[in-house]
Amino acid sequence: MTDDWLINNFAIRSFRDVGDQDYISARMAFRAALVTPSLWSSQQAVEKYLKCILLLHRIKATDVYHDLSKALDAIEMSGKLALDLTLPTRRFIAYLDEFGPFRYLEISNIAFGPDLVKLDRAVWELRRYCTLSDEPRKIKLRSGVIPSKISIPGGYLEDVINDVKNPARKPLLWWNAFFGKRRRRRVRIVGWMKATNSPLYTNPQMLEEVLEYVHLPRSIAEGYRAHKKPQ
């Protein structure tokens, strides 16, 4: 086994395969109308797909951390490949960048049930690049046309789809227009919307005492310090 093979295997197993699991987790959270888990798992899935792309193409991005926009910029500025992503997918990634990284209600958040379709589309578009094969990325979305099925050899999602006894199969295929063995002409949209204010947003005066006991990112702490200042 060469070093290249080992690094590619790491990219696929640690990022693409685990990202696939985050994706299924996000779908389950959306189905249950769980706001924070749906946002967090969606962000984690997209982050891992982007990091898989970065590593497979040997694009240095040690300062990306959890920043999706920075990961996208690193890919597109590398000159090694161009991501053919639709505008709705780019907007959804920007939305996840804003609300997805916060697991503890550090900021107020909002989520929408129909965004499950946006997640499915984003995963379909990004996974085409999570392989060294050029064939998947040649398949593109066309307005008004049912998405083509893309099968990545050895892919975790593909293994789930092909194993009728896999307990993750049903959550993956539930009203999924982008993945599965059959092409769906329509899916049922679960139309929930939930918005929650962060406790720190409604009571920013407790910030300094909270910081004595728990860690908050500096940007969040500074934001709440500015928020509680008298106008």
Tell me the per-residue pLDDT of 81-113, one tens digit each, with 9 for 90 and over. 999 999 999 999 999 999 999 999 999 999 999
Separation of CA 83 from chain center: 16
Return the amino acid letter for 120: D
The Cα–Cα gap between 75 and 83 comes to: 8
pLDDT of residue 1: 81
CB 16 within 8 A of CB 155: yes
Percent pLDDT > 90 in the chain is 83
pLDDT of residue 230: 58
pLDDT of residue 38: 97
Which whole number is the average pLDDT over 218-228?
Answer: 89
Confidence of residue 229 (pLDDT cuts 50, 70, 90): low
pTM: predicted TM-score of the whole model, two decimal places: 0.94
Which whole number is the average pLDDT over 171-192?
Answer: 89
CB 38 within 8 A of CB 26: yes
Which whole number is the average pLDDT over 69-82?
Answer: 95
pLDDT tens digits along 41-65 = 999 999 999 999 999 999 999 999 9
The Cα–Cα gap between 8 and 173 comes to: 28
pLDDT of residue 32: 96
Chain mean pLDDT for the chain: 94
Q: Can you say whether the dihedral through the CA atoms of 20, 21, 22, 28 is positive or negative?
A: positive
CB 156 within 8 A of CB 20: yes
Distances (CA, A) of 136 to 87, 99, 110, 130, 132: 19, 30, 33, 9, 9
E strand map for the chain: 109-112, 193-196
pLDDT of residue 231: 52
Which whole number is the average pLDDT over 62-80?
Answer: 95
Which whole number is the average pLDDT over 4-25?
Answer: 97
The Cα–Cα gap between 71 and 183 comes to: 31
Q: Which residues of 128-151 are buried (b: 16+ CB within 10 A; e: fewer)?
A: bbbbeeeebbeeebeeeeebeebe
Greatest C-alpha distance within the chain:
64
pLDDT at 185 over 80: no
CB 162 within 8 A of CB 154: no
CB 161 within 8 A of CB 179: yes
